[in-house]
Structure formats: C-alpha cells, structure tokens
Amino acid sequence: MALRYIDLFAGLGGFHLAMKRLGHRCVFASELKDDLRKLYKINFPYTQIYGDITAIPVEQIPPHDILCAGFPCQPFSQAGKQQGFNDEKHRGNLFDNICTIIDYRRPRYILLENVSNLLGHDEGRTWATIRQRLDDLDYEVPEPAILSPHEFGIPQHRKRIYIVAADRRRGGIGDFTFPEKQRIATDIRTVIDENETHYVKIKADTRHQMEVWQDFIDQCVAHNQPIPRFPIWAMEFGATYDYTTAPAFQSARSLRQTLGKLGQPITGRTVAECLEQIPVYSQTGKDVTFPKWKISYIRQNRDFYNRNREWLDDWIETVRDFENSHLKMEWNCGPNTTPTLDDKIIQFRASGIRVKLPNFSPALNLVGTQVPILPWIQLPPRTVEPGEPDRGRYMTVKEAAKLQGMGDLKFKNRTFALAQSRCYEALGNAVNVDIVQMIAERLLPANE
C-alpha cells in the first residue's frame, strides 16, 4: 500500500528517491535554498516544494503517514562550532518545527538523519533531548543507529546517525531493527566511468605538490624508513620552539632563541610577531598546555626529522612555498601497499593532504575544493591537449552522485543548471538513498 510522506529540509531529494523506489507518494516538500528547490522541481515535477519551513503554518502541511527529515547538521557537526540547540543561526531549533508538525499531524512513522556526532554532542544531552521530545509526543523511539555506506557494500565512508520513531497509539515500533552491517569488500572503481569526458582537470600546482610528496615517499623507501603512520606535519621539520607550554604563553625573548616553521629562526620583536613564524596550529592561545594528541604529533614529527635530517633538509627546500595545508600529509594506507600515490585516492583538505586506498571514497565534503582525486585514471584522448598529462582527474559529479545512490539525478535542464561547486556541496550534505531505503523497508511494513 502506498503511504504518504513529507520531505523536510529536502536538499537534493534523497528521502524522496528512497521512498519513491518503495512506491510511496510525496505530498509535501520544503527546502530553504532557492537553487536546490529549482533542482528539486526538475527531478520531481509532480511535487510542490516550498521554502522556509518556519514560515509555513502547520495547518497548511497536508496529512501524511511518514515524516522524513535530514534536519540541518551543522549545529552538531565536528566541522562546525557544535552549538547544537543553541546554534546562533537557530538551525538547531528547527527540530522544534519538526515536533510541531508531528504533534499536529501525527504521522505514523518518523525517519530522521543527521551527523553521527549528534549522538555524543553535549555529552549525550542533545540526543537525550531529542528522544525525550519524541517520547513526550507519545512516539516509541528505539536506539538510533550509526551507519556508513561502506558497511553495506557501497564504496563510501560516511557515518551518519539514523533515528526512527513510531506512534505508540497505532502500535509503536513493533519488531523493527536496523539493517545489519555487512562485511563486503568495496572498490571505488565500481562507480568510476573512465570514459567520462565531463571532468575537472588537475591543476599544474596540484600535480607539482603530489610529485613533491611522492618524492618524500620515495626517499623514505630509499632510506629504509617506513612511511609514517602518524600525520606528517612538515612544518615541524627543523623546528625547536618549546611546545611543552603553548608558545603564546612564552616570552618573545625565549621564542627568539629557537627555530620555528621549517627550521627558520624566530626573529619577531613581540610575542605576536614570533607566533607568526611558528606553525599555525601552535599559535593558539586558548590553553597553556596543548592537547595530548597535538603534543604527540609534534614530538613524532620532530623525532622523524632528527632520524632523517640527512635527506629531509634537501626535501624541505622543495616545500618552503607551500600553503600550510599542503605541508601536511596523512598516509592512511597501512604498511603493506605500494609506496606510490598513483594508485590511491588523494584528497586535498583544509587539514592536509590525505592519501587512502581506493577501496572506498572518503565522505563527500561540503567544500567543492576537497573533491577526491583519482590519479590512476586514463583520460579519454580527445579530452587531453598536446603536452598535458593523460592520467588523473577529480571525481565527477555523476560519480559522487552514484555514491549517494543518486546516479539518475538530474543536475540541470534547458533553463537551469546547478553550479558544479554547489553540486558537490549538496551531495556532501545529502542523505544516502540506499541506506534510507534499507531502513524504510524494515520500518514501514513492521506494523502493517
């Protein structure tokens, strides 16, 4: 039997796609951002989509059996300020709107998605509040599940929390259980189309940075040095500033007696000027003592330099002009793999260059500049200009959409096209269609 559902904070329509596959009918959708509403109309022309949910009187929302919502995750995300319900932009309080709709329309089922950090946010109080609110509305709420596509054979690592609830007045949750995680090998190549001609080329500067880090790996191998398993912070190579006490709490005189970023002398007249000459992550004046993890990373990098300064001193000269984020590299491939970047997935992140095996993609990031690089792909000859490299490109929008179960989604028509950076951003914020479908298949028939 087809059930009616509403799609709140709809984005690209991940809930819509999942429910449509199961034969259910969308009777209402809302999305704040105008460009995403335009795209929603292209993909779901028979669904009326509205804007700001807080501006829509609850009585105008039609009756429905299922409420679906991927409510804004930024207030709870580790990448944000983690303000939760106290979010300065009031995004955390949008859960109040969800509860108002639930109270007024009493859907039989509720299906919510958010970042996994929500479960532990504010020492668990945020989740406790959500659960209590739903319980007060007389809904049965089982323990939520934190699931990632790679745990179900989908080549993407993207942990999210999934929350379900069912009206106690109509039988509650029944014998519902979340899908069981599976041990299935994944391979990013299953979503890659090597014949794709609509791709973003790798800039010359980026290729140069990859070559320099490949040289670092080659030097490790040549000198019988394992590639470090800890994050490589090249800014610490040659540095001697004291980090047992945060430099912001030291005197300019004591700092001037040491070496800063990449082993350069610290020459500032004031503490503020001295701080500009040490690694950016050590400039903070928040606490007198750094966290243990930061102390550990600094120590490990300095120890590595002291063991390998014979060749690292020359290598350092090749990175002096790099941006801070390009002076960091994480080798997330383990020791038993080929010591090369050419067959790995590479992601240029604000926190550094991340290298991982091509078994599954890292989580699609909200920032389009952090799209995974696939160095091994042979580019179609007709897309390569004379003298250009013929291998390596970024993951395409279509491939990223496949990772989210949105392979058939349209990103444009004759009158409108979503900007490519916005495509990546929206995909990074989207709900995974395949996981929602698996959960809904278990939830919705439970009490029929």
For the chain, domain boundaries: 4-183+421-443, 194-395
Considering the entire predicted model, what is its pTM?
Answer: 0.88
For 23, counting Cβ atoms within 10 Å of its Cβ (0-12 exposed, 13-18 middle, 19+ buried), the class is: exposed
Q: Which residues pair with 28 in a beta bridge?
A: 6
- The two most distant CA atoms of the chain are separated, in Å, by 77
Catalytic residue among 26, 68, 73, 423: 73
CA pair distance 265, 240, nearest whole angstrom: 9
| Whether 99 is catalytic | no
Structure tokens at 220: 């490790």
* pLDDT of 80: 44
Architecture of domain 4-183+421-443: 3-Layer(aba) Sandwich (3.40)
As a whole number of angstroms, the distance between CA 239 and CA 230 comes to: 18
Residue 41 CA from chain centroid, whole number? 26
**Residue 73, pLDDT score:** 53
Between CA 129 and CA 13 the distance in angstroms is 27
Fill in the DSSP letter of residue 147.
Answer: E
Position 93 scores a pLDDT of: 75
Write down the pLDDT at residue 366: 55
- Provide the pLDDT for residue 45: 96
Given a cut of 50, the residues of the chain with pLDDT beneath it are 75-87, 90-92, 446-448
Helix locations, 117-228, DSSP H:
125-136, 204-222
Burial classification of residue 254, based on how many CB atoms lie within 10 Å of its CB (0-12 exposed, 13-18 middle, 19 or more buried): middle
Taking the C-alpha atoms of residue 407 and residue 419, their distance in angstroms, rounded to an integer, is 18
293 — phi, psi (to 5°)? -65, -35
pLDDT of residue 370: 86
The token pair that represents 315 in the structure block: 């290598």
